[in-house]
Amino acid sequence: MNVKIAGCRLELVEGDITELDTDAIVNAANAQLVLGGGVAGAIRRKGGPQIQEECNQIGGTFVGGAVITTGGKLKARHIIHAVGPQLGEGDEDEKLRKATLNSLKVADEHGLKSIAFPAISTGIFGFPIRECAEIMLHATAEYLRGKTGLERVVFCLFGRDRFDVFARELGRITGVRQ
Ligand code: AR6
């Protein structure tokens, strides 16, 4: 599913984010920047040890923050490590919104043209998928209506069910149905 928002293509795909060749892929990180399971585990396995070493140099960031490393051996040249909230810690919606906006900002600051997001916080961190879709898609649409050099933003969803939730939510926001 594809829509245009202020000249930028916003795309939904189903699959493994570590296979994508966007300028950056976003890692669903923790505040310590220790690559654990889920998306982070796939990045660690396919990208090689260099990514964790770069994370160790940075040391960590706040919940809602985003930092950048190289993509190691991955097709994507950069990884943007975005820290989403854990369900139950408080102020989750705003933290997820900030994690999305800060990732887009970091991409722009580095002159990147394309970025791919997973559904941050909806795996090990336990945040509900529908609310995630609403928050991340709204934040992205809002960001793209401002000044940006981004040409393509992808949401890469693991499994048909999660893809369908994002597709419904994107349809609701843009009025486009597919
Ligand atoms: N490609 C795309 N999406 C994926 C992939 C993949 N390869 N693998 C999982 N997902 P999670 P979180 C989906 O757990 O909830 C780690 O230990 C998954 O189905 O990766 O933010 C980190 O180090 C779910 O919908 O991230 C942190 O400590 C979504 O990606 C913590 O988990 C996010 O799941 C972060 O937890």
Query: Per residue in 47-83, pLDDT tens?
Result: 999 999 999 999 999 999 999 999 999 999 999 999 9
2-173 folds as Leucine Aminopeptidase, subunit E; domain 1 (3.40.220)
Interval between CA 38 and ligand 1 midpoint (Å): 4
Atom nearest to 122 CA in ligand 1: 15
Answer with the residue of higher pLDDT: 173 or 131.
131
What residues does each domain of the chain span? 2-173
Percent of the chain with pLDDT over 70: 99
State the pLDDT at residue 104.
98
Model confidence at 121: pLDDT above 90: yes
Residue closest to 14 by CA, chosen among 125, 118, 99: 118
Query: What's the length of the chain?
Result: 178
Is beta strand 114-117 parallel, antiparallel or unpaired with respect to 2-5?
unpaired
Cβ of residue 35 lying under 6 Å from some atom of ligand 1: yes
132, pLDDT greater than 90: yes
Q: Say how many Å lie between the CA of residue 96 and the centre of ligand 1.
A: 14
Ligand 1 midpoint to CA 65 (Å): 16
Most ligand 1 atoms within 8 A of CB, residue of 39, 67, 122, 132 to mutate: 39
Whether ligand 1 lies within 6 angstroms of the CB of 16 is answered as: yes
- The pLDDT score that the predictor gives to residue 161 is 98
- Specify the DSSP class assigned to residue 77: S
pLDDT tens-digit series, residues 137-173 = 999 999 999 999 999 999 999 999 999 999 999 999 8
Q: What mean pLDDT comes out for the span 108-116?
A: 98
Q: Which atom of ligand 1 is nearest to the CA of 34?
A: 23
171 Cβ contact list (under 8 Å, min separation 6): 177, 178
CA 35 to ligand 1: nearest atom: 23
pLDDT band at 178 (very low <50, low <70, confident <90, very high): low
Residue 119 has pLDDT above 90, yes or no: yes
CB of 124 shorter than 6 A to ligand 1: yes
pLDDT in tens, 23-50: 999 999 999 999 999 999 999 999 999 9
78 forms beta bridges with 24, 70
pLDDT of residue 64: 98
Q: Give pairs for 40-46: CB < 8 Å, separation 24+.
A: 42/16, 42/17, 42/18, 43/18, 43/74, 43/79, 46/18, 46/73, 46/74
Radius of gyration of the chain (CA): 15
Whether 125 lines ligand 1, by a CB cut-off of 6 Å, is: yes
Q: Do residues 121 and 87 lie in contact, with contact meaning Cβ atoms separated by under 8 Å? A: yes
pLDDT of residue 175: 81
The rounded distance, in Å, linking the Cα atoms of 5 and 28 is 24
Q: Is the pLDDT of residue 1 over 90?
A: no
Q: In degrees rounded to 5, what are phi and psi of residue 66?
A: -145, 135
